[in-house]
């Protein structure tokens, strides 16, 4: 499977975002909004960079309702992975729910 890179405009913020997250712990995470304000970038760019760092560079960036941090233990990694997988399952349910509406009237399939 081809791995997705990040845009050139987002790439210039990769190292500053990575550094800001790596400074943080689970007990003192950095919120996306804080990164947005600090670097004057939109939330979508923060998410794009975090996704790139996790999937391409394999940086163990933990996250939760309170923000991003560098996962420093197996437990922190496991918690983040569990949360991400749960969110992915909920997104699939949402997509299936939308498709169900159209399956009643029109036979479409996007998968």
pLDDT at residue 107, rounded to an integer: 60
Residue 16 above 50 pLDDT? yes
Look over the chain and give the mean of its residue pLDDT values, rounded to a whole number: 91
pTM value is: 0.83
Count Cβ atoms within 10 A of the Cβ of residue 104 and give its class: 0-12 exposed, 13-18 middle, 19 or more buried: exposed
Residue 1 pLDDT > 60: no
Percent of the chain residues topping a pLDDT of 70: 89
* pLDDT of amino acid 111: 57
CB atoms within 10 A of CB 29: 19
The pLDDT score that the predictor gives to residue 49 is 97
């Amino acid at each position: 499977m081809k791995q997705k890179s990040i845009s050139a405009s987002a790439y210039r913020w990769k190292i500053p975002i990575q550094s800001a997250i790596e400074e943080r712990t689970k007990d003192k995470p950095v919120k996306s909004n804080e990164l947005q304000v600090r670097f004057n970038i939109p939330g979508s760019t923060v998410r794009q960079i975090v996704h790139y760092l996790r999937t391409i560079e394999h940086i163990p960036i933990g996250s939760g309702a309170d923000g991003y941090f560098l996962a420093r233990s197996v437990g922190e990694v496991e918690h983040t992975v569990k949360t991400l997988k749960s969110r992915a399952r909920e997104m699939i349910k949402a997509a299936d729910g939308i498709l169900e509406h159209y399956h009643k009237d029109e036979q479409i399939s996007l998968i």
